[in-house]
């Protein structure tokens, strides 16, 4: 979703902000803009639609916008079409044309998120003589700040606080006030925003990669807190306007981790980083030959008490929950349910007495997942977050946190974070099973051995990527693809199908193989690609039969199974073999060829695989 950056210091702001926006491109956007001011001068606003490149060209790489203080934005349209007028920054005054140029306005700002009651606020402001030039909720919030600023004349912090009290929704805001040159004000609620400072500058952004070249010391402001940025100084305020102290967090990952390092795309780089992501996540959960979750507060006593697990998440993270459901029930014999966060949050939920609700999220900011977490907490349910981004809202609010150690994930489609999430789920399942006496010490040791063998097995699969590349190119113009599997293989199929459609824009569906006959099989035509996932030996034959039914109706069959299951070649036209592991852990291996298939299909179709159309990396609106 939208990306925000801000800088105030001694250097020219525009090139720094453009660089920062470039590092946030992965979040998804359809227009971009900057507001820069030079000392006491008025802010100059420049906006453009489409790729950031056009803003870079329009401003001659920032050279036409002199000034050492500014804010920037990439917009992912929610209210109002992607146009120059609707692009940010927005201003409190009246604006003609597309809103670019020198602005007289009192307040200039950028916003990420959604203001839910913007219609009501707009009506109020209209009654007070404000006029609106755009269709955005952002213009409303900027004008509301201006209204309070002029009404009470108590300065920016007071005006922002009064606005925060009136506004409903989620937001990260960065604002400049005409009377306060060299200063930027920021506030957030349920949308990501980080701040950093050096000896002569301070800066803000929606995510760490945007500021990592300037500082590793990052501040996370809480909901309804305000930050004031001056060159070399950061001040924080609570909702009463009282100054508060925040401690910085040190970012340990290398700035290079957020660069392509010779790979053509972030996605393929991140696919290759999976052995490391899995190894690092395992390393954080296993020590001295034992799983140790105590740092998260999930002690053996806590685990012994749990008799019901509910996963909730969105998209790929929900697929991890789906795999988790099979694994927990199989390994730990604990009743488990998995729910889409967007459904869970609005339905009547009957919590169980000894329930553990697990929210899985790479970003830790997904609006629906956050809402689901809050709902569970409000019902007194114990919550665990499996999160990749340190300091994110979901990590902050859950009772327990297990961090995945995937490093920064830049490509919009998740790969390495998904793999790291699986590991956290496996470790939890093994420990629950052991603590609750469902497995003995021997089985426990075997599981740990299988887990530690996963990174090398993933590496081995990656070594054979050329075969998938060839196959993906052959089917790049496919109209439809069906992914089928039973049980845990069904959860893998869901992820394979999502990867295919989001990256290559080919329509695809995942089906529990036994369901095909109940309708979907009518869609099979000559040469329709059906990809069968067959990692579970107990149901191998059943899925093979379902695939054969498709073949009899003209389908082209690809099978994905482990070495040794060569009989599949009697039915399949093309087979991909992966190493064997414990059946519970096979998703970690089987997903890799499917990620590669999605990636290479998109590349073969000449698509922007790192930033598929209409998608955003961090979905901070519902």
Binding site for ligand F6R (CB under 6 A): 314-317, 361-363, 366, 369, 413-414, 498, 502, 618-619
Nearest to 612 by CA among 507, 502, 495, 506: 502
What is the nearest approach in angstroms of ligand F6R to the Cβ of residue 604? 19
479 carries an active-site annotation: no
Q: Which is nearer to ligand F6R, 422 or 435 (CB)?
A: 422
Give me the sign of the Cα torsion angle 360, 366, 368, 373. positive
Helix (H, G, I), strand (E, B) or coil at 397: helix
Helix (H) or strand (E) holding 169: strand 169-177
Q: Spell 489-503 as b/e; 16+ CB within 10 A means b.
A: bbbbbbbbbbbbbbb
What is the nearest approach in angstroms of ligand F6R to the Cβ of residue 43? 33
The residue written with tokens 């196959």 in the block is: 471
What is the nearest approach in angstroms of ligand F6R to the Cβ of residue 502? 6
Residue 367 Cα distances to 189, 347, 407, angstroms? 11, 16, 22
Q: Which is nearer to ligand F6R, 312 or 528 (CB)?
A: 312
Helices (H) and strands (E) in the chain, counts: 18, 28
What is the nearest approach in angstroms of ligand F6R to the Cβ of residue 373? 11
Distance of CA 440 to the CA centre of its chain: 37
What is the nearest approach in angstroms of ligand F6R to the Cβ of residue 134? 27
Q: Which is nearer to ligand F6R, 298 or 313 (CB)?
A: 313
What is the nearest approach in angstroms of ligand F6R to the Cβ of residue 367? 9
Which alpha helices (DSSP H) does 505-619 contain, by range?
540-551, 587-604
Nearest residue (beta carbon) to ligand F6R: 315
Q: Spell 7-40 as b/e; 16+ CB within 10 A means b.
A: bbbeebbbbbbbbbbbbbbbbbbbbbbbbbbbee
Indicate which residue of 189, 375, 465, 617 is catalytic: 617
Please, which residues have CB within 8 angstroms of residue 588's CB and are 6 or more apart in sequence? 278, 419, 422, 423, 426, 454, 458, 581
Q: Spell 214-239 as b/e; 16+ CB within 10 A means b.
A: bbbbbbbbeeebbbbbbbeebbbbee
Q: Which is nearer to ligand F6R, 169 or 315 (CB)?
A: 315
Q: What are the residues facing 228 on neighbouring strands?
A: 185, 235
DSSP 8-class letter at 26: G
What is the nearest approach in angstroms of ligand F6R to the Cβ of residue 602? 12
**Gap between the terminal Cα atoms of the chain:** 11
Q: Which is nearer to ligand F6R, 68 or 366 (CB)?
A: 366
What is the nearest approach in angstroms of ligand F6R to the Cβ of residue 516? 24
617 carries an active-site annotation: yes
Helix (H) or strand (E) holding 144: helix 137-152
The CA distance from 540 to 103, in Å, is: 67
Nearest to 118 by CA among 80, 178, 169: 169
Indicate which residue of 2, 95, 203, 584 is catalytic: 2
The CA distance from 197 to 176, in Å, is: 17
Helix (H, G, I), strand (E, B) or coil at 524: coil
Distance of CA 155 to the CA centre of its chain: 35
Q: Residue 396, Cβ neighbours under 10 Å: how many?
A: 16
Q: Please state the φ and ψ torsions of residue 32, each to the nearest 5 degrees.
A: -150, 160
Residue 361 Cα distances to 335, 394, 404, 488, 507, angstroms? 22, 8, 10, 20, 25
What is the nearest approach in angstroms of ligand F6R to the Cβ of residue 223? 18
What is the nearest approach in angstroms of ligand F6R to the Cβ of residue 594? 12
Helix (H, G, I), strand (E, B) or coil at 328: helix
Q: What are the residues facing 483 on neighbouring strands?
A: 510, 531
What is the nearest approach in angstroms of ligand F6R to the Cβ of residue 342? 11
Q: Which is nearer to ligand F6R, 231 or 598 (CB)?
A: 598
The CA distance from 166 to 270, in Å, is: 42
The CA distance from 518 to 497, in Å, is: 19
Q: Please state the φ and ψ torsions of residue 107, each to the nearest 5 degrees.
A: -125, 135
Q: Which is nearer to ligand F6R, 108 or 376 (CB)?
A: 376
Q: Which is nearer to ligand F6R, 13 or 371 (CB)?
A: 371
Active site residues: 2, 617
């Amino acid at each position: 979703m939208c990306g925000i950056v801000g800088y105030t210091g001694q250097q020219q702001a525009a090139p720094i902000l453009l660089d920062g926006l470039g590092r946030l491109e992965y979040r998804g956007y359809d227009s971009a803009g900057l507001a820069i001011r030079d000392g006491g001068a008025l802010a100059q606003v420049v906006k453009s639609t489409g790729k950031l490149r056009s803003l870079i060209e329009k401003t001659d790489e920032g050279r036409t916008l002199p000034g050492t203080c500014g804010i920037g934005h990439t917009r992912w349209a929610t209210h109002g079409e992607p146009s120059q007028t609707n692009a940010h920054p927005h201003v409190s005054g009246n604006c003609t044309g597309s809103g670019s140029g020198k602005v007289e306005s009192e307040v200039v700002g950028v916003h990420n998120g959604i203001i839910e009651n913007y219609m009501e606020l707009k009506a109020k402001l209209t009654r007070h003589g404000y006029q609106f030039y755009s269709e955005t909720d952002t213009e409303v919030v900027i004008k509301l700040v201006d209204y309070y600023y002029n009404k009470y004349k108590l300065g920016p912090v007071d005006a922002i606080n009064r606005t925060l009290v009136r506004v409903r929704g989620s937001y990260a805001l960065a604002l400049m006030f005409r009377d306060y040159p060299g200063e930027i004000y920021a506030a957030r609620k349920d949308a990501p925003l980080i701040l950093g400072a050096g000896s002569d500058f301070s800066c803000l952004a929606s995510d760490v990669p945007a500021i990592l070249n300037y500082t590793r010391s990052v501040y996370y402001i809480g909901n309804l807190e305000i930050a004031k940025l001056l060159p070399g100084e950061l001040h924080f305020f609570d909702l009463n306007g009282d100054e508060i102290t925040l401690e910085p967090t040190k970012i340990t990952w290398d700035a290079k981790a957020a660069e392509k390092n010779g790979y053509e795309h972030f996605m393929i780089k991140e696919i290759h980083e999976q052995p490391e992501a899995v190894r690092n996540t395992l390393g954080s959960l296993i020590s001295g030959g034992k799983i140790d979750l105590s740092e998260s507060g999930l002690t053996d006593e806590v685990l012994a008490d749990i008799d019901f697990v509910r996963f909730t998440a969105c998209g790929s993270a929900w697929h991890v929950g789906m795999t988790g459901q099979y694994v927990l029930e199989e390994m730990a014999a604990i009743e488990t349910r998995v729910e889409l966060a967007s459904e869970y949050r609005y339905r009547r939920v009957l919590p169980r007495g000894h329930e553990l609700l697990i929210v899985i999220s790479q970003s830790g900011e997904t609006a629906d997942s956050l809402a689901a977490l809050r709902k569970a907490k409000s019902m007194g349910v114990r919550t665990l977050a499996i999160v990749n981004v340190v300091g994110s809202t979901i990590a902050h609010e859950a009772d327990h946190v297990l961090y995945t150690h995937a490093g920064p994930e830049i490509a919009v489609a998740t790969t390495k974070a998904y793999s790291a999430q699986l590991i956290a789920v496996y470790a939890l399942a093994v420990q629950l099973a052991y603590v609750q006496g469902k497995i003995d010490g021997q089985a426990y040791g075997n599981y740990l051995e299988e887990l530690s063998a996963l990174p090398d097995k993933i590496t081995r699969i990656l070594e054979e990527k050329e075969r998938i590349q060839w196959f993906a190119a052959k089917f790049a113009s496919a109209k439809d693809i069906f992914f089928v599997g039973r049980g845990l293989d069904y959860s893998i199929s869901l992820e394979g199908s999502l990867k295919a459609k989001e990256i290559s824009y080919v329509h695809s569906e995942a089906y529990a193989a036994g369901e095909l006959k109940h309708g979907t099989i009518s869609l099979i035509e000559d040469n329709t690609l059906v990809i069968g996932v067959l990692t579970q030996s107990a149901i191998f034959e059943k899925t093979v039969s379902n695939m054969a039914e498709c073949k009899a109706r003209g389908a082209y069959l690809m099978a994905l199974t482990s070495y040794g299951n060569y009989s599949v070649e009697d039915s399949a036209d093309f087979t991909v073999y992966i190493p064997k592991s414990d059946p519970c852990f096979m998703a970690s291996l089987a997903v890799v060829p499917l990620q590669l298939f999605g990636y290479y299909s998109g590349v073969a179709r000449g698509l922007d695989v790192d930033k598929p159309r209409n998608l955003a990396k961090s979905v901070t609106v519902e």
